[in-house]
Amino acid sequence: MTPKQREAYLQQLLALHAELSGKAPQRIEPNRTDDARVGGDEDEQPLNEMMQAIASSRNRNTDGVLARVVKALGKLREDPDSFGECEECGDDIPTGRLQAMPYAEFCVACQGGKDGPKARATRRKLTDYT
């Protein structure tokens, strides 16, 4: 990786960091307690709970990316040579992947090995209910 490329990733990461850390956590709407609707539509409750679950999982996801952005920035500062290398196998992470996700920690193969079976198992479980 050339210093120029590294600099481009650094700028990208800094922009991401500013965007993610400056963004207030997504607001979680409390369940409605509107007096006018008491005894009203009971179907609304499960929907609210679902929306809360979605909102909080989005918050967690944003936090995860921010942590990885911070980690990648640390690498660029402390040990620039290790930036862009897979933490698992040490191979270079492909340029396209890094450009899309400058905070990527693993190459596609290693990431797939981490996410894959677990993600697939979760999906299978959900669909088995039907």
Where does this chain bind Zn ion (CB under 5 A)? Answer: 86, 88-89, 107, 110
Q: How far apart are CB 119 and Zn ion at their closest, in Å?
A: 18
The nearest distance, CB 112 to Zn ion, in angstroms, is 9
Residue number, 25 or 112, with CB nearest to Zn ion: 112
Q: 78, 10 in Cβ contact below 8 A?
A: no
Q: Cβ 97 to Zn ion, closest distance in Å?
A: 11
Identify the burial level of 39 via C-beta atoms within 10 angstroms of its C-beta, where 0-12 means exposed, 13-18 middle and 19 or more buried.
exposed
Dmax (CA) for the chain in angstroms is: 65
The residues facing 7 across adjacent strands are none
